[in-house]
Amino acid sequence: MQSSEVQDLVKNASDLVSLPEVSLRVNEIANDPDSTADDMGKVISQDPALVARMLKIANSAFYGVSNEVETITRAIAILGTKKIRDLVISTAASDTFDGIPNNLITMQDFWHHSLYCALLAQILAKKSKKIKSESIFIAGLLHDIGQLLMFNKLPEKSHETILLLMEGTEELETYEAERHVFGFDHMEVGAELIKKWKLAPVLQECIEFHHVPQNAKNFPAEVALINIANAVAVMADFNSMNEDDIPMINPISWELTGLSKNDLPEAIKQAQEEIEEIESVLFPPK
């Protein structure tokens, strides 16, 4: 249940962090079983810059298409409406927050961690027999989106949270420190933002409970997968393979996903091989 403070925070920032209309239409079309690839192509074609970006991504080495993709219709046919939807929302979200200043984290660091989490989640989802959602990549990418809003709108308290974590007098995870300082956490803020954007319920739940997968109600396996992927991505942020450097993976996450620690080395290797290429096309230098 979202607190009134969280709802007010997101409502007051709605002009600042609104997704472009074309992104919202693309999302609606991807979720409509009666829609076609042509429907999505017509919407994307209204934004020439978005068309250029999608074609660049479709032609990147990451997707390994043998013949050059010259039209958005062809890109949708090759990648599928769900993948194109994820790419459109990914680029829209990064562009939305790109111009919002904060002094607590660089956008490059934030999106690198988020993308690594998204790639790991996507790779591990293929190993799990319990993941049904096709939105797991975007769930990984947006799992910490609430932090950016808190950093921008509530910088002093956000800085206080970071100091609390650095002091290390208590073994706190980030969301626990946020609750000490704010009375709410970035998971709640992110979930409210996803709700405001009218994105899929699975995304809202993955974001709202990715540190506490035991609280997930409708998509427990997907939430647990993001719990695992985020923890491993934090380990990568520290350039470490030492489990002491990562937030605890909730034991229930292994049970809910059907995965084990033995699945991680191969997934980590694949994500490390892929991240530079997809990062360069999704989040090119400005």
pLDDT tens digits for 134-151? 889 999 999 999 999 999
Q: pLDDT, tens digit, for every residue of 2-61?
A: 588 999 999 988 777 888 899 999 999 998 999 998 999 999 999 998 999 899 888 887
235 and 121 together in one domain:
yes
**Do 66 and 107 belong to one domain?**
no
Q: Are residues 187 and 120 in the same domain?
A: yes
Same domain (yes/no): 125, 164: yes
Mean pLDDT score of the chain, rounded to an integer?
89
Q: Are residues 246 and 117 in the same domain?
A: yes
Domain holding 185: CATH number? 1.10.3210.10
Residue 86 lies in a domain: no
In a domain, 204, yes or no: yes
Residue 90 falls inside a structural domain: no
Which pLDDT value is given to residue 244? 53
Q: Let me know whether 68 and 171 are in one domain.
A: no
pLDDT band at 1 (very low <50, low <70, confident <90, very high): very low
The vertex-86 CA angle with 195 and 213, nearest 5°, equals 55
Residues 61 and 178 placed together within one structural domain of the fold:
no
25 and 116 together in one domain: no
CA pair distance 183, 268, nearest whole angstrom: 34
Q: Of the given ranges (35-39, 41-45, 212-216, 234-238), which has the lowest mean pLDDT?
A: 234-238
Q: How far apart are the first and last CA of the chain?
A: 38
CA 3-208-191 angle, 5° bins: 65
Q: Is residue 52 part of a domain?
A: yes
In a domain, 161, yes or no: yes
| Domain shared by 111 and 144, yes or no | yes
Overall pTM > 0.75? yes
Number of domains comprising the chain: 2
- Residue-number span of the structural domain to which 250 is assigned: 4-17+100-282
